[in-house]
Amino acid sequence: MLDLLGNWYRNKFSDPDALMLLLLIIFISAIILFWGSYIMPVLIAIVLAYLLDSSVGQLEKLNLSRTLATTIVMVLFIGISLIGTLSLLPTISKQSVNLVEELPLIWQGAQAWLLTLPEQYPELLHTEQITSMMGKVNESLVGITQNIISVSFSSLVSVGALLIYLILVPLMMFFMLKDKPLFMDNLSYLLPKERRLIYQVGSEMNTQIGNYIRGKVIEILIVGAASCIAFVLMDLRYAILLGVLVGLSVLIPYIGAAVVTIPVAFVALFQWGFSAEFGYLMLVYFIIQALDGNLIVPILFSEAVALHPLYIIIAVLFFGGIWGFWGVFFAIPLATLVKALISAWSNDLDEDIKST
């Protein structure tokens, strides 16, 4: 067994470039894992600056200085963000409060409907089973409610931290964008000399991650806007809140769409019951999901490396468990990174075998 592991290590990491790539990945992963909460503003600034870098580059092609291009992009970014936040946040907050207040009524209606099922299907269900299930759900709801209250109180403490984010993150973004060449030179100076595979993987991932993040932002806006418009036109209660949730659900491939279907269906069922309106709304909702999966995603992510759905789900669960929201958001790029690393090491090994 030890000989097998030794042979595998010599085949994969006898090349100094491969070993340096492995050590760099371990070093970066350890920093994010152990100190990610402390440097979170920096990580957020890096992600947002990466998103805006292409816009700065486009303005530079118009013979604008990098400082002026960065200033224009940052002003537009902050302005659009403020307009979007101030226009949506009050409505979302109000609808969220109303929905929380009506949750007991929605659950009471659901319980009444569940208790009618044993009468309709006596061969399959019994009243005792439904009662036992509702008791367990009630216990879970009590725990969830307590957690929500505790999170609400703790969020009051984090208001100060939020204000710091609102000041520090844009400031860091501005300097990252304006002085990008300087930072890239410094980074190149810090990297080891054995950097062939690092550059190879980095070049491949630069395109993949950039396309993914920009495409995902566009997908959120399209799906969220389409859902909000459809829900408002169909007079669904909490239309803006549910539309925003549907838009954000695309962050988590497959799992997000399945999870967000539950609140949409429950609110529609509580509002209309099993009626034609309920059927029409769910039909429109599933059409939006189908268009997202079969039209929007192929167009936006046509240049992304194809990954099997099983690998995507595993990546979402794994990286989300390690890094939370950002792990979920970057699950596909990180899975693509793993694929690129395996491909780079395999190709490097094949070249060594051919050369011998």
- Give per-residue pLDDT as tens, 7-25: 655 555 555 666 666 677 7
d(CA 340, CA 326): 20
Cα distances (angstroms) measured from residue 29 to each of 24, 32, 241: 8, 5, 35
Amino acid at 298: P
- Give per-residue pLDDT as tens, 50-73: 888 888 988 998 889 999 999 999
The beta strand positions in the chain, using DSSP E, are: none
Length of the chain: 356
Find the radius of gyration of the CA atoms of the chain. Answer: 25
- Widest CA span of the chain, in angstroms? 77
d(CA 239, CA 232): 5
Higher pLDDT, 153 or 195: 195
pLDDT at 152 over 50: no
Of the chain, the end-to-end C-alpha distance in Å amounts to 26
- Give per-residue pLDDT as tens, 175-228: 999 998 888 877 777 666 666 666 666 666 676 677 777 788 888 899 999 999
The beta strand positions in 268-343, using DSSP E, are: none
Q: What pLDDT does residue 67 have? A: 92
d(CA 156, CA 164): 14
d(CA 99, CA 105): 10
State the residue for tokens 């009444």: 112
pLDDT at 268 over 50: yes
Higher pLDDT, 154 or 256: 256
DSSP per residue over 87-108, as a string?
Answer: HHHHHHHHHHHHHHHHHHHHHH
pTM of the model: 0.67
Share of the chain above pLDDT 70, in %: 72
Neighbours of 297 (CB within 10 A): 18
d(CA 112, CA 89): 34
